[in-house]
Structure formats: C-alpha cells, structure tokens
C-alpha cells in the first residue's frame, strides 16, 4: 500500500511539474492541497474553552517520516497544555493525554514546537497580548522534555506534567532584551509602529535551536535567532547570540520552520500588521551565509472551506505549523496545519525542491 501511495505521489508530482514548467524561474508555483482536509475524528479534548483551544493549533513536533503511524506533539496558543496526536496516512488521531507545561491553565501562548531525537521543544511567543498590548510574562518560556524513542510519549506525573520537563527560566527573554538588534522590539506592542517581538517559528537541528520571528518585520525582512539548546537551558544561559536577518517579503514574517538536510524550510505568512492581501509561501533558507531564502511555492488556499468547531461561529485559515510527510527526490509532501481551523484543519501539499 505504501509503495502504491508513493508511486501515485510521484506521478502526481510529475504532472504538477509539467503544468508549472512554463513558468519563469522567478515565479514560484502556486500549490493547492493535494486532497481534502484530513479527518481528526472527535478532535482534541480540553476541559475548558474546548472550542477555542481546538482552533488554536500553532505548532507540531514529529519524529522522522515513517510508513508506520507517528506520534507527534501539538502545541496550542491558547492555555498551557500540549497534546499528542497520531499521524496515520491521511488522518489525524488526537490522543487524550494531557501535556501540562504551566499550571492553572496560564496563557503560555505556545507558537512553535520541534523535535530533535527524543527531545521535544516548545516555545512561547515572548510577545505582548494582541489588542490591548498587555504584558504576558507567561509567554516568556521555552520548554523541553524527553519522549520514549519507541512510543513517542513522555513519562508524566499525576497532573500531566512531563517528568523530564525543563524550563529555560527566562534565558531567551534575557537575550532578547540584551541583544543590540532585538532589544528595541522586546516588550513592545505588536505590529506598526513598534513591531514588537513575536516568535512563531521553531526548528531544531543537531542540538541547535532556531527561533523564527513573525515580528519585528520591517522593510521586507525579519529575523532567525540560532542558539545552542544546552546553553539556553543551562544555569548560566547564553553569553552571546546574534540574530540573522532574512528576506521574508513585503508584509510577511515567519509562521513556522522545519529542519531539512539543506537548511530550514520556512512557512512565511502575514506579519502582525495582518495584511489582507498577503499570502503564505514555503521557502528554503540555506543557513547563516544567506539572508535571501528561496521561495519554493505559494500556497493556494482559495478552495479551502473550513468548518468551525462545535460551539464556535467563525473559523479562519492561518497556516502556522508544518510536518514532513514524504521527502522525495524532487519534492516534499508537507502537512500544513492552521491556527483558526478546527483541530488544525490538516492539509497536505506537494512542494517542489
């Protein structure tokens, strides 16, 4: 079955390449989902504000692609809990286990998740609250915990807190407020004119964490901040770290990131000025020697008709999380999940390399 599916994907991509072959090199293809929105069964379960939280999936951390079902960790920008979710062919299967990161349902505003080996990382946005520009110190955390290499689950105490949970104890916030480039944006209101810090992307590769910024985004550029994970979680913290400025495009920032052998895949989308005419793209950033990512594809979401969760009246398509499904010779099949769609509104896209 897996071989048949792979063959069909290759055939589909060959047709896709033929269709876009006449485009100019500077004109990336516009790619629609390669199928309907995935089923999520009965969805994620929360004890309070369930509908709102189910429409707030903002990050996902998965093991390497496998023909077998994979257990991932999903992060939400509402509340303080993550959840396990099984990726099984073209289905999401949310698990009931609670992953408690902060007590008493505090507002972590988790925006990014990534996995390196058996370690899962989740970061808060480190931003002020949208609208009234209120300080949210609970967003100024980066967490990590160990999961079993075979089951994908962590050991938890009775409350649901992972036994191995570590907190950076504000070390990232200290970096943001001390760095000569970023400190003028730390603790400022989102969007214009202040362009306050807002972290929405997280990737990890060989022990190096990469934080991607939705803001500050100015003059078509934003930032990626590389940090050694063990230093970030040490008592001494990080003594020196410098952000890399990258070209995201007009009105755009980073909405998620994913480590690949060639560098980092970037999910680019509207910055905090929320431009209505700004779309989403997938780009490849080769590393610190280049500040000009290559746009691989623009996402065509025009045919997506999301349905709200029960008890919710509205929904929206705002891609904010990526996971690898297949890594072929000339394409990647990516799972894209959206903040605003019920249970993430999972869709898969064929993205050329």
Count of residues for the chain?
Answer: 353
The closest alpha carbon to 32, from 313, 323, 300, belongs to 300
pLDDT in the model for residue 8:
52
Residue labelled with tokens 């058996």? 118
As a whole number, mean pLDDT of residues 218-233 equals 95
- The residue that leads in pLDDT, 290 or 292, is 292
Q: For residue range 14-29, what is the model confidence (pLDDT) as tens digits?
A: 545 544 444 445 689 9
Q: For residue range 299-326, what is the model confidence (pLDDT) as tens digits?
A: 999 999 888 898 888 788 999 999 999 9
- The residue that leads in pLDDT, 336 or 237, is 336
Long-range contacts of the stretch 45-48 (C-beta < 8 A, 24+): 45/94, 45/96, 46/79, 46/81, 48/79, 48/105
Q: Calculate the average pLDDT of the chain.
A: 91
pLDDT tops 90 at residue 13:
no
Q: For residue range 103-154, what is the model confidence (pLDDT) as tens digits?
A: 998 999 999 999 999 999 999 999 999 888 999 999 999 999 999 999 999 9
pLDDT in the model for residue 307:
82
Domains defined for the chain, CATH in brackets? 2-352 (2.115.10)
pLDDT tops 80 at residue 241:
yes
- Pairwise CA distance, residues 36 & 50, whole Å: 24
As a whole number, mean pLDDT of residues 191-214 equals 97
| Pairing between β-strand 91-100 and β-strand 81-88 as defined by DSSP bridges | antiparallel
Q: Measured over all CA atoms, what is the biggest interatomic distance in the chain, rounded to whole angstroms?
A: 59
pLDDT in the model for residue 240:
83
Element (H, E) at 171: helix 171-178
Q: How far is CA 207 from the centre of its chain?
A: 18
């Amino acid at each position: 079955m897996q071989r048949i599916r792979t063959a069909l994907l290759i055939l589909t991509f060959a047709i896709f390449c033929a269709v876009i072959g006449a485009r100019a090199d500077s004109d990336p293809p516009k790619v629609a989902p390669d199928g309907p929105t995935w089923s999520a069964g009965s969805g994620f379960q929360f004890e309070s504000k369930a509908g709102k939280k189910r429409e707030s999936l903002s990050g996902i951390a998965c093991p390497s692609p496998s023909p077998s079902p994979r257990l991932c960790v999903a992060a939400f920008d509402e509340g303080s809990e993550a959840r396990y979710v099984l990726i099984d062919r073209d289905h999401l299967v949310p698990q009931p286990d609670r992953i408690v990161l902060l007590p008493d349902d505090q507002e972590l505003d988790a925006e990014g998740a990534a996995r390196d080996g058996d370690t899962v990382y989740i970061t808060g946005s480190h931003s002020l609250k949208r609208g009234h520009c209120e300080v949210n110190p609970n967003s100024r955390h980066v967490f990590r915990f160990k999961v079993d290499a075979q089951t994908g689950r962590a050991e938890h105490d009775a409350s649901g807190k992972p036994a191995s949970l570590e907190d950076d104890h504000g070390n990232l916030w200290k970096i943001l407020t001390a760095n000569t480039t970023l400190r003028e944006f730390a603790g400022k209101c989102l969007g214009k004119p202040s362009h306050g810090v807002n972290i929405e992307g997280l990737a990890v590769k060989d022990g190096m964490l990469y934080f991607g910024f939705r803001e500050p985004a100015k003059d078509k550029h934003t930032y990626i901040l590389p940090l050694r994970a063990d230093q970030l979680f040490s008592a001494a913290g990080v003594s020196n770290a410098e952000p890399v400025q990258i070209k995201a495009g007009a009105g755009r920032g980073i909405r998620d990131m994913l480590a690949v052998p060639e560098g980092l895949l970037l999910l680019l989308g509207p910055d905090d000025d929320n431009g209505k005419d700004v779309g989403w793209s997938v780009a490849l950033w080769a590393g610190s020697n280049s500040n000009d990512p290559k746009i691989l594809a623009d996402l065509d979401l025009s045919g997506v008709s999301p349905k709200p969760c029960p008890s919710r009246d509205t929904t929206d398509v705002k891609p904010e999380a990526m996971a690898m499904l297949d890594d072929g010779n000339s394409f990647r099949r990516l799972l894209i999940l959206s903040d605003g769609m019920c249970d993430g509104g999972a869709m898969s896209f064929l993205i050329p390399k």
